[in-house]
């Protein structure tokens, strides 16, 4: 455990154009609250898992993006909270897919831009979770949906990769498509199906609306 | 907390030895006495009696009571000129329960409007790590799931709700898979199951340690992609709307966080799915919850006349982080203790069996802190050690394999739980009670449904792990279906009659109308008063 006694040191930065004097070891979110920066509402989980606190960071000439709740204050840094990414232009409902054999064709109909990747690394550079987005897009375009989806395991839906992509591929949504159809078509767990089948047979043997389960007299006070 | 006597962090750290010889914890002679003395639910100064409303005379946590008996944010004048939108089903809240309800209603052909405070998916759902309960193993049964849940809830849960939820379990998982959610599988293809506190069989299914994230991003995507669901973000509900006599819920009023404007929605079915209230920091506690968890749904439902229950029962999870400061209150999953991690006070002694029920373990930590055996950081907050280095020594590699999220979060601050013990303190985690509902999620007010953490009666006074993620989908879907079966043509007139009624009752009871509710955001996020 490190010591936190140096927290009182003052760090000067700007957030959404407002000058803020923060103390060291504050995140950009805390610094924004501390400095009274108005309208910082793109914040929720505070543990870098919801993807809402997208920020643009300027250190001199260098410009990067990150999640504000996992970025600490730095002297002189300029941070700007980004507006949410516009909704994707691609549309599908999972219930539309009835045949797994034509899923590659359907994928290219829904995401025609996915095969136009120009390998600019924009998505990879902007991903706060270190995901190889570019490589995963290539896998998806080649029909390797399971492997492509696996690459997005830690994806927090920040859509910073979508914002970065010059071809409007919407990589975050491609990633979700890959994960979703993998489960939708291939996840068929025997233990779950067995129990569902058991319930179906029990229901068939009961009058409509009747429940199979009884609320038996359980042990009183046993939880303490 | 700051007045408390405790050992400074640096001193405790210097004393700490991962290889020190420590014995078993002392025997706990009287658990009830421990709870009575230290658990916030049992400390009488934290409870008040409600004076007005459907629960007049009932016990309620003091700060929550203040919000339930507060003045509305708006009156008729605010609504003049506010645009009105019509929809078949209105859903308030974009977490797991709200999305499940939206999808179920849309599957039935309804036009659905889902309105949420922050961004779609900003929720407690997305943070869940552990998993979701479903009775699918051969040695398990729906019946046992029901009994474990009722017993865990101290035998006061509503058996009909519990049976409905447990019975739905397998079909909930089937539906989640249909929507595209992945789960951990055995080589045989069976879903992996784990056993946690209070369960008589292995019953937790999961997706690594990212179950909530996987669930939320799949449901969020399904909602975004659905043709008959419209989503409004950054638009907290500030009030419900009622019919001319204030007896039926017929819509809601939203205030944009972007421009402060009001908008009204008119409908015949409103589904409240606003989640919990950790960000009210009840009794001064830190919280594991997301920023929008301010109990708004309870306030709105109560003013509309709905009955609530168990308003004096909250779950304080034993292991919230004290340090690093920016993660204050954030959860260290129960899995770490289940894997064998022990807890030590400043003197390096164990003080409780770490695997007792959550309320008892939390009370024991609070006792150590209050009696001067805690460890203090510079800003005055106090905690005890969670001895992760010892766990790592006994099972090398375990932390990295099973708890990557924990290591990643600590790493940002230069902390390595394999070398440094974690400083922890109980954190406000879950609202056990909530709005009274039936098996369709219907409240006692016609036209108003409540699902997810905002609803009560399923988990009694204590929720066991994994049942929240199940309840939000089970009742979310039930309410979504029930809301579409409304046959009337919708409201002719929308009013604030229920607000006027509540104001009269407050005045009669002599309660000053100085506070306004719902809270919407914690003060530190809304008013620039964060300090550290
Ligand atoms: C850190 C953590 C770990 C957990 N782990 C587990 C676990 O392993 N297993 C388990 O079963 N449970 C777990 N839980 C509990 C479980 O995650 C939650 O109880 C459950 O997800 C709540 O779902 P919900 O949809 O009811 O609420 P939420 O997911 O919180 O969603 C509520 C939504 O309503 C919105 N909202 C709030 N107020 C308003 C308003 N006024 N107007 C409009 N919108 C509003 C919020 O912004 C949010 O989008 C955990 C909880 C936490 C915090
Ligand atoms: S893959 Fe895209 S959406 Fe996912 S975390 Fe990375 S940048 Fe964000
Ligand atoms: S940003 Fe778009 S075009 Fe560039 S590498 Fe990534 S996916 Fe390809
Ligand atoms: S607030 Fe959720 S990722 Fe930063």
For the stretch B283-330, pLDDT in tens is: 999 999 999 999 999 999 999 999 999 999 999 999 999 988 889 999
Q: Is the pLDDT of residue A218 over 50?
A: no
* Whole-number percent of chain B with pLDDT over 90: 83
Cβ of residue A176 lying under 6 Å from some atom of ligand 2: no
Using CA coordinates, name the residue in chain A closest to B258. A39
Chain Cα centroid distance, residue A68 = 15
Average pLDDT over residues B18-46: 92
**In Å, how far is B123's CA from the nearest CA of chain A?**
7
pLDDT value of residue B45: 87
Q: Which two tokens stand for residue A112?
A: 């025609």
Which of B145, B117, B123 shows the shortest CA–CA distance to B474? B145
In the structure, what pLDDT confidence band is assigned to residue A215 with cuts at 50, 70 and 90? low
pLDDT value of residue A210: 63
Interface of A with B in 128-167 (CB under 8 A): 149, 153-157
**ipTM of the assembly?**
0.92
Cβ of residue A48 lying under 6 Å from some atom of ligand 4: yes
Average pLDDT over residues B497-516: 96
Q: Is the pLDDT of residue A222 over 50?
A: no
B337 given a catalytic annotation? yes
In the structure, what pLDDT confidence band is assigned to residue B531 with cuts at 50, 70 and 90? low
pLDDT tens, position by position, B179-222:
999 999 999 999 999 888 788 999 999 998 899 999 999 999 99
pLDDT value of residue B2: 44
B317 given a catalytic annotation? yes
Query: Is B325 near chain A, with CB under 8 Å?
Result: yes
H helix and E strand count, chain A: 8, 5
Query: Is A221 near chain B, with CB under 8 Å?
Result: yes
pLDDT tens, position by position, A163-201:
999 999 999 999 999 999 999 999 999 999 999 999 999
- Mean of pLDDT over chain A: 90
- Please identify, by atom number, the ligand 2 atom nearest to the C-alpha of residue A133: 1
The answer to whether the CB of B194 falls within 8 A of the CB of B187 is no
pLDDT value of residue B468: 97
Q: Give every CB contact of residue B95 below 8 A, 6+ residues apart in sequence.
A: B121, B123, B124, B125, B126, B216, B273, B275, B452, B472
The pTM is what?
0.95
Cβ of residue A55 lying under 6 Å from some atom of ligand 2: no
Query: Is B137 near chain A, with CB under 8 Å?
Result: yes
Q: Which among B266, B268, B303, B317 is annotated as catalytic?
A: B317
Interface test with B, best of A160, A191, A217, A222 (most B CBs within 10 A): A191
d(C-alpha B435, C-alpha B54), whole Å? 11
CA angle, residues A4, A5, A7, in degrees to nearest 5? 75
Say whether A153 and B210 touch across the interface (CB within 8 A): yes
For A36-74, b where at least 16 C-beta lie within 10 A, e where not — what string?
Answer: ebeebbbbbbbbbbbbbbbbbbeeeeeeebbbbbbbbbe
The answer to whether the CB of A155 falls within 8 A of the CB of A124 is no
Q: Is the pLDDT of residue B339 over 90?
A: no
Query: Is B154 near chain A, with CB under 8 Å?
Result: yes
Q: Is the pLDDT of residue B266 over 70?
A: yes
Chain Cα centroid distance, residue B59 = 20
Beta strands in B200-325 (DSSP E): 204-205, 229-232, 237-242, 249-255, 262-266, 269-272, 308-309, 314-321
DSSP string, B273-305: -----GGG-GGG--BSS-TT-S-HHHHHHHHTT
pLDDT value of residue B401: 81
For B492-529, b where at least 16 C-beta lie within 10 A, e where not — what string?
Answer: eebbbbbbebbbebbeeeebeeeeebbbbbbebbeeee
Q: Is the pLDDT of residue B356 over 90?
A: no
pLDDT tens, position by position, B378-397:
888 999 999 999 999 999 99
pLDDT value of residue A4: 43
Query: Is A120 near chain B, with CB under 8 Å?
Result: no
Cβ of residue B127 lying under 6 Å from some atom of ligand 1: yes
pLDDT tens, position by position, B396-446:
998 888 787 788 878 877 889 999 999 999 999 999 999 999 999 999 999
3-state secondary structure of B504: helix
Which of B317, B365, B294, B221 shows the shortest CA–CA distance to B524? B294
Q: Return the higher-pLDDT residue of B485 and B140.
A: B140
Taking the centre of ligand 4 as the mean of its atom positions, its distance from the CA of residue B328, in whole angstroms, is: 15
Pairing of strands B112-115, B89-92: parallel
| Chain B positions in Cβ-Cβ contact with residue A173 (cut-off 8 Å) | 221
pLDDT value of residue B75: 93
Cβ of residue A163 lying under 6 Å from some atom of ligand 2: no
* Closest protein CA for atom 4 of ligand 2: A155
Nearest CB among B163, B221, B527 relative to A176 is that of B221
Mutation to probe ligand 2, out of A158, A162, A165, A168 (largest number of atoms < 8 A from CB): A158
Using CA coordinates, name the residue in chain B closest to A73. B326
Say whether B121 and A194 touch across the interface (CB within 8 A): no
- What structural domains does chain B harbor? 6-38+316-428 (3.90.700.10), 80-313+432-483 (3.50.50.60)
Interface test with B, best of A84, A189, A196, A216 (most B CBs within 10 A): A189
Taking the centre of ligand 4 as the mean of its atom positions, its distance from the CA of residue A47, in whole angstroms, is: 6
pLDDT value of residue B415: 86
Q: Which among B266, B337, B409, B478 is annotated as catalytic?
A: B337
Contacts 24+ apart (CB under 8 A), B390-394: B390/B18, B390/B19, B390/B341, B390/B342, B391/B336, B391/B339, B391/B340, B391/B341, B391/B342, B392/B417, B392/B418, B393/B18, B393/B19, B394/B340
Cβ of residue B476 lying under 6 Å from some atom of ligand 1: no
Pairing of strands B382-386, B229-232: unpaired
């Amino acid at each position: 455990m490190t010591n936190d006694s140096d927290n009182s040191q003052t760090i000067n930065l700007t957030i959404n154009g407002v000058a803020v004097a923060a103390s060291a070891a504050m995140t950009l979110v805390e610094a924004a609250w501390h400095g009274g920066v108005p309208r910082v509402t793109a914040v929720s989980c505070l543990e870098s898992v919801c993807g809402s606190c997208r920020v643009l960071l300027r250190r001199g000439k260098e410009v990067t993006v990150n999640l504000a709740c996992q970025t600490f204050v730095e002297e002189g840094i300029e941070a700007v909270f980004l507006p949410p990414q516009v909704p994707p232009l691609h549309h599908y409902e999972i219930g539309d897919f009835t045949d797994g054999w034509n899923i590659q064709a359907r994928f290219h109909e829904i995401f025609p831009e996915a095969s136009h990747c120009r390998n600019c690394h924009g998505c990879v550079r902007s991903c706060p979770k270190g995901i190889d987005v570019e490589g995963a897009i290539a896998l998806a375009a080649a029909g390797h949906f399971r492997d492509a989806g696996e690459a997005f395991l830690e994806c927090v839906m920040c859509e910073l990769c979508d914002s970065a992509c010059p071809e409007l591929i919407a990589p975050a949504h491609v990633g979700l498509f890959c994960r979703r159809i993998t489960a939708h078509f291939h996840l068929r767990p025997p233990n779950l199906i067995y129990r569902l089948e058991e319930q179906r047979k029990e229901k068939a043997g009961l009058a409509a609306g009747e429940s199979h389960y009884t609320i038996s007299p359980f042990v009183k006070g046993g939880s303490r | 907390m700051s007045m408390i006597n405790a050992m400074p962090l640096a001193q405790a750290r210097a004393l700490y030895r991962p290889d020190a010889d420590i014995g078993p914890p002392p025997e706990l002679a009287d658990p009830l006495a421990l709870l009575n003395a230290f658990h916030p639910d049992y400390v009488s100064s934290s409870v008040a009696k409600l004076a007005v409303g459907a629960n007049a005379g009932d016990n309620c946590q003091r700060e929550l009571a203040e919000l339930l008996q507060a003045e509305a944010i708006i009156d008729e004048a605010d609504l003049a000129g506010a645009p009105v939108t019509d929809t078949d089903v209105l859903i308030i809240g974009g977490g797991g329960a709200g999305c499940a309800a939206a999808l179920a209603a849309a599957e039935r052909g309804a036009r659905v409007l889902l309105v949420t405070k922050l961004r779609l998916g900003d929720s407690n759902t997305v943070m869940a790590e552990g998993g979701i309960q479903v009775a699918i193993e051969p040695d398990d049964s729906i019946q046992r799931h029901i009994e474990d849940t009722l017993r865990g809830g101290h035998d006061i849960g509503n058996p009909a709700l519990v049976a409905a939820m447990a019975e739905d379990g397998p079909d909930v998982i089937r539906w989640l898979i249909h929507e595209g959610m992945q789960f951990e599988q055995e080589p045989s293809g069976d879903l992996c199951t784990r056993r946690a506190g209070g369960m008589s069989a292995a019953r937790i299914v999961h997706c690594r340690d990212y179950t909530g994230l996987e669930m939320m991003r799949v449901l969020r995507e399904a909602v975004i992609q659905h043709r008959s669901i419209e989503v409004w973000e950054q638009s907290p509900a500030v009030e419900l709307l009622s019919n001319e006599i204030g007896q039926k819920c017929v819509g809601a009023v939203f205030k944009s966080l972007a421009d402060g404007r009001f908008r009204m929605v008119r409908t015949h079915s409103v589904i409240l799915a606003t989640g919990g209230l950790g960000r009210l920091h009840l009794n001064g506690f830190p919280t594991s919850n997301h920023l929008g968890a301010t109990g708004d749904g309870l306030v709105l439902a109560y003013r509309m006349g709905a009955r609530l229950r168990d308003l004096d029962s909250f779950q304080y999870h034993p292991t919230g982080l004290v340090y690093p400061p920016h993660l204050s209150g954030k959860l260290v999953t129960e899995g770490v203790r289940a894997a064998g991690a022990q807890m030590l006070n400043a003197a390096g002694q164990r003080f409780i069996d770490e695997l007792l029920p959550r309320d008892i373990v939390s009370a024991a930590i609070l006792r150590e802190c209050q009696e001067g055996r805690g460890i203090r950081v510079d800003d005055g907050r106090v905690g005890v050690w969670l001895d992760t280095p010892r766990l790592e020594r006994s099972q090398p590699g375990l932390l990295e394999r099973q708890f990557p999220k924990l290591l990643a979060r600590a790493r940002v601050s230069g902390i390595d739980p394999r070398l440094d013990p974690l400083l922890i303190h109980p954190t406000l985690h879950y609202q056990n009670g909530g709005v009274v509902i039936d098996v369709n999620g219907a409240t006692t007010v016609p036209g108003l449904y409540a699902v997810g953490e905002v609803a009560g009666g399923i988990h009694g006074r204590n929720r066991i792990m994994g049942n929240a993620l199940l309840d939000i989908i089970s009742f979310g879907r039930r309410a979504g279906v029930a809301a579409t079966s409304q046959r009337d043509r919708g409201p002719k007139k929308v009013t604030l009659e229920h607000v006027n009624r509540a104001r009269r009752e407050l005045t009669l009871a002599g309660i000053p109308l100085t506070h306004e509710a719902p809270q919407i955001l914690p003060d530190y996020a809304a008013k620039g008063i964060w300090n550290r």
